Amino acid sequence: MKNVPLYLAGEFVDSQTSEWIDVTNPATNEVIAKAPCTTDAEMRKAIESAGEMFKTWKEVPVSERARVMLRYQALLKEHHDEIAEILAQETGKTFDDAKGDVWRGIEVVEHAANVASMMMGETVENVAREVDTHSWIQPLGVCAGITPFNFPAMIPLWMFPMAIACGNTFILKPSEQDPMTPMRLAELFEEAGAPKGVLQVVHGGKEQVDVLLTDPAIKAVSFVGSVPVGRYIYETGTRNMKRVQSFAGAKNHMVILPDADKQQVINALVGASVGAAGQRCMAISVAVFVGEAQQWIPELKEAMAKVRPGAWNDSGASYGPIISAKAKDRIESLIATGEAQGAKLLLDGRGCTVDGLPDGNWVGPTLFSGVTTEMDIYNEEIFGPVLSCVETDTLGDAIELVNKSPYGNGVSIFTSSGGAARRFQHEIDVGQVGVNIPIPVPLPFFSFTGWKGSFYGDQHAYGKQAVRFYTETKTVTSRWFSSEATSTEANFSIQLR
């Protein structure tokens, strides 16, 4: 048992709070740590420290800030498996899945090391006679990030390296369900040479989040989480005159045409639906079978029936437990509702057990067919290893179905037709599209571009859009008079007389 520390003003300190949150291992439900609900005084210290440090950090040359990120990514690689093991134990992810979580974060840090080229302004000479205009990209100030449980390495690393590389300081409020991974990231960031006070880490719940959303010293807030919380973050933050990017929920579809490779489709659906126990905002939760492709559902059932959950260090496990008993109960309730509303339950993951771990939050692979758009399992984000199959007659019907969804995080199509793929990617109203790729998460030099109810804000995460989000543009128009030019003009004037 350990108490998770705070990271304030460059020091790892024990909170003086009287309120603590249990951090549990979801495979056993044993308490493995306690996270503090940061006190008002500690929140104030974090904000003041970040504000004071911004005055000096913004003056550090961009090349020096980039070198901090280079050292940081080297340390993250060196400690990659260690971080993944911490992550696996507090989230329940399999070791391979946890390593992928860490690696995707490292890729963003590598991208942040290229920040100088992304902060270049623009210049036009002679916008008027002997008048020039140029723009500078400058940091905002103190920024904050509120991150979810499902990617405790990748998503914090989406945020604070990019913000800090741009010249800002940053306050991170990670999920209270798995705070130990973000704390290890903070330790390595300090070891990489980041000045004390550039990054602060606080813990807690809504009370601490509200401080970040309302304090005038915070200039921008990044969030990833559920739809209701995402809307609250966006509305509250913008109402308090902050720049906000809020990544919310999803209901991602995969459209399967009958000309696709059947085995590739089945393999992709199994991995994309139950991988990470379905606890990712880019998971495929709806399979749209077009025409004769509907005949593949029995083979999909056979493939899904072969996968099983297990402990993080079980090499035969396909995925881990659900993050909490409460989340497990919600998933099982939605499975029951789907059956009651008329969907055909082909695989039932309720009552799943894992040998030697009777108290874990286990849900087995679950498959529905005959799902309609009126059903709760179609409309709600289940966030579990549950896949709903929908049937349509044509590609046009499938596109119309997807476009009616209020969410627009990710979508994919599997086909061997270039024409069908082009039509799909052009007409679909979703921000991230995969063609024969089930989960189309872009690499960091592009941006994570959810649409509609999956995202509230203007600029997305990482890539060039993250630099725009964490910076402001200043435009300078100038005219200079040299003594030589003045003398020449005077002589010319005399000659004319």
Alpha-helical (H) ranges within 341-461 are: 376-379, 395-403, 418-427
How far is Cα 331 from Cα 116, in angstroms, rounded to an integer? Answer: 45
For 14, 84, 94, 309, 319, the CA distances from 316, given in Å and listed in that order, are 39, 18, 10, 9, 9
Per DSSP bridges, beta strands 344-347 and 366-369 are: antiparallel
- Going by C-beta distance under 8 Å and a sequence separation of 6 or more, which residues neighbour residue 380? 251, 334
Partner residues linked to 243 by β-bridges? 220
DSSP 334: H
How far is Cα 469 from Cα 462, in angstroms, rounded to an integer? Answer: 9
Amino acid sitting at position 235: E
Q: State residue 435 phi and psi, 5-degree precision.
A: -110, 110
Residue numbers annotated as active site: 281
Closest residue by Cα to residue 74 from 109, 38, 29: 109
DSSP 449: -
Q: State residue 386 phi and psi, 5-degree precision.
A: -125, 125
Closest residue by Cα to residue 62 from 477, 471, 491: 471
How far is Cα 133 from Cα 311, in angstroms, rounded to an integer? Answer: 60
Dig out the tokens for 170 from the structure.
Answer: 């940053």
Contact by Cβ (8 Å): 251, 285: yes
